Structure 1
């Protein structure tokens, strides 16, 4: 090195720091890239994305390549800095060169390039892949050797090296991605995506029409009564039964009945039963995502929910499941949530006893118990284990509940006042 001028050594040292910055920035840029955006761009033919995706198929080899290059350059820079320091300042130049080089490497070869790469990974990773690809081929023997030694050492201490990390997202991780995409996805579409993810948490018991609200026709009634019920039915399908809903005999399409009514010769009880579809039964507790698939496979739109003893608990339709995803349809005959709740100026909320507990929790971000009961009335009866009187106050999960009206052994209206601590925790 004696015949090499000091200025040449300084220039070479600066080049080494720049090369070190390239390796540092490339490593951070490659590892910070959004893998799903990268995959999308690669599928659309982006050349840079394709090069990077190829390199990231074996991240262990890529890291080895970058670290080998970075360490070789830094060691060479350290040797050159020592020579330059001794030429300029003698023995004291070693300490001076060490301090100056450490500062320069930290700022210009580590912090600055890595910060820029973390902020703009695509601007760093795509261009750097042009050089890293051929460099990986050239240095493959050394990279392979280093990787083999590393794996052997890891196995010696009991670390498995053959278990690859899955790139698949869990549902909670996917939920987080949807939440963080508010600037790119409309609120309505975001709610729909989250509702799809929640389908497995909701079962048919939560959305079914309760048994006492199921509309049906007793086939043993007088013929005029049957015809009148069919003429005034607001539903597309209606249950036919004999005396009791437990003796359901068919599911009649009202449109088919109207067609038969225009052909008076065919409009008889026997023909009604013949035109009715076979009852499709749904076991209680079936998750909505499972039931949606079953409706599709069996080409059914309506089912009667039954318990373990075969007793009918209610009725569920494919429209009920779709409403869980897209929201209430305008054709729904059931009262909407807006009709069942009335927020007050003091922070309390007046709620009808027939309101769905899960919908209330979802709308107000509350945590009322919804495991054992579907409606507000059912929740209160489950907690109190008796029919309460009007004026009773109940405290459930940090909520003060005042029972305002009780009729026909049912809670008709309540007032819920969340405690301040709950409001503040939700706001945070």
Structure 2
């Protein structure tokens, strides 16, 4: 070493620090690269992505290679720097200067700066470094294999699999976060649709069904003229027919079939009964994604929702499921739930007691709990544990509510006030 000039040693030191920066940036870039974008580029045949995928397929070997290279160049840099400092500052101050000086140099130029750059541009750094790392992995494979054998053995003793890749699978909530974080890359409408698809598993038929009391249906035992009048005024393409009680449902009649019978002068009660279509029943606890597949398999678009005792609780359609994904259809001739919520000039909202809580939350941007009762009437009754009188005020989940009308043991209408509003004689939740 004494024969080597100081200038040559300085050049060697600079090269070793650059190599250390290369290994540091490669490690950060390869470990922080977006795995899903990398998979997309790999499927498109991107050569850089293919090289990187080969490297990260075995992260234990990749990390072993990088750390071997980084430690070799850092130890070499320490040795060369020590020789230089001893020459310049003597045997006493030389080691002190090399310890302080080289630590700062490595931290700034070989660690923090290159790793920050790699974290900001992981793809560029990873694709470029893979040109060198792949041949190095082949060259040092025996050494890397030996080191990995020892470290993997230690991991096995700790009951940890070095090939465990469970962390690469996204949960539903993580996928929801990815969709929201996409920003301008995915339009807001498309984000809402994707999130709606993810939510189908958490929403049941009971959550979106038309309640039993709101089902448009016709008693087949009514006078024939009344039946004709109801069919003429029906706003739906399918109408439920029943005998005396909706629990004795006969089936759905399609308006197209009724018109066909009318055109052939065969429009009688008997022919109408022959034209009814079989009813599809589904439990109220059926998740929407399952119900959608069942509709698809049975080639159905409408079904009746039953409880555990087989009693009819409501009606659900394929359109209801689609609206959970893409939002309300504006072409519907039937008024949607907005008819149940009327914003007043003072900021309060008059709401029908039968309004569905999930629909109110979506339309009014409220946050009523939906785990229990499905309607606002049910939520208030559950909270009070009694049927209240009119003009009673209550605060539920932070929302001041004034009960306006009670009829037939049901809350028919309420006024929801702004959350900052305080009311006298208010019963808090």
**TM-score normalised according to structure 2 size:** 0.93
Instruction: Name the structure 2 match of 1:397.
Output: 397
Determine the C-alpha separation between the residues in 1 that align with 2:242 and 2:352: 31
The CA deviation at 1:341 is 2.8
Structure 1 gap ranges (5+): 422-428
- Residue 405 and residue 221 in structure 1: after superposition, are their counterparts in 2 closer, same or farther (change >3 A)? closer
Deviates more, 1:405-414 or 1:123-132: 405-414
Q: CA deviation at 1:343?
A: 4.5
- 1:60 is displaced (CA, Å) by 1.2
What RMSD in Å do the two structures reach over aligned CA positions? 2.0
Q: Is 1:286–2:286 an aligned residue pair?
A: yes
Q: What is the CA-CA distance between 1:344 and the residue it aligns to?
A: 5.5
Whether contact under 8 Å (2:235, 2:334) holds in the other structure is: no
Residue 233 in 1 paired to residue 240 in 2?
A: no
The alignment's TM-score, normalised by the length of structure 1, stands at 0.93
- Cα distance in 1 between the residues matched to 2:361 and 2:226: 41
Aligned to 2:13: 13
Structure 1 residues 389 and 50: CA distance shift in structure 2, 3 A: same
User: Quick one: distance in 1 between partners of 2:100 and 2:388?
Assistant: 80
User: Which residue of 2 is the match for residue 50 of structure 1?
Assistant: 50
Q: CA 1:158–1:295 in 2, change beyond 3 Å: closer, same or farther?
A: closer
Tell me the equivalent position of 2:28. 28
Aligned partner of residue 13 in structure 1, secondary structure: helix
1:17-416 alignment runs, 5 A limit: 17-91=17-91, 92-161=93-162, 163-264=164-265, 266-332=266-332, 334-343=334-343, 348-416=348-416
Contact 1:81–1:98 at 8 Å: present in 2 too? no
Alpha carbons of 1:272 and 1:364: their partners in 2 closer, same or farther (altered >3 Å)?
A: closer
Q: CA deviation at 1:407?
A: 3.6
Tell me, in whole angstroms, the C-alpha distance in 1 between the residues paired with 2:204 and 2:353.
21
- Distance, in Å, in 1 between the alignment partners of 2:173 and 2:286 is 21
TM-fit CA distance, 1:247: 1.1
- Mean alpha-carbon deviation: is it higher for 227-236 or for 311-320? 227-236
Query: In the aligned structure 2, how far is the partner of 1:13 from the partner of 1:164?
Result: 39
- 397-406 or 193-202: which moved more? 397-406
| CA distance in 2: counterparts of 1:346 and 1:77, whole angstroms | 75
Equivalence for 1:425: none
Structure 1 distance, partners of 2:244, 2:392, is 39
> Kindly tell me: are residues 201 and 388 of structure 1, through their superposed partners in 2, closer, same or farther at Cα, counting changes over 3 Å?
same
Measure the CA separation in 1 of the matches of 2:413 and 2:230: 31
Residue pair 1:85, 1:96 contacting (<8 A) in 2 also: yes
- Structure 2: distance between partners of 1:368 and 1:40: 40
Q: Do 2:28 and 2:122's aligned partners in 1 also have CA atoms closer than 8 Å?
A: yes
Runs ≥4 in structure 1, deviation > 6 angstroms?
none
Change (3 A) 1:341 1:27: same
For residues 129 and 10 of structure 1, the distance between their equivalents in structure 2, rounded to whole angstroms, comes to: 28
| Distance 1:269-1:387 versus aligned 2 partners, 3 A rule | same
In structure 2, how many angstroms separate the alpha carbons of the residues matched to 1:345 and 1:150? 71
Alpha-carbon deviations, 1:86-141, whole Å to 9, x = none? 11121121211221111111000000000000011112111111111111111111
**Contact 1:398–1:418, Cα closer than 8 Å, also in 2:** no
Closer, same or farther: CA 157–245 of 1 in aligned 2, 3 Å? closer
The CA deviation at 1:373 is 1.8
Q: CA deviation at 1:163?
A: 3.3
Aligned partner of residue 168 in structure 2, secondary structure: coil
CA distance in 1, matches of 2:389, 2:139: 84
Q: How many aligned positions are there? A: 420
Task: Name which of structure 1's ranges 223-232 and 45-54 shifts more when overlaid on structure 2.
Answer: 223-232
| Secondary structure, counterpart of 1:413 in structure 2 | strand
SS of the residue 2:359 aligns to: helix
Contact 2:58 2:163 in 1 (8 A): no
Partner of 1:183, secondary structure, is helix
C-alpha distance 57-420 of structure 1, shift in aligned 2 (>3 A) = farther
> How many Å separate the matches in 2 of 1:12 and 1:252?
89
Deviations 1:379-409 (A, max 9, x none): 2122223332221011222332111233444
Kindly tell me: are residues 55 and 299 of structure 1, through their superposed partners in 2, closer, same or farther at Cα, counting changes over 3 Å?
Answer: same
Cα distance in 1 for partners of 2:179, 2:163 equals 32
> Could you say what secondary structure the match of 1:389 adopts?
coil
Aligned to 2:427: none
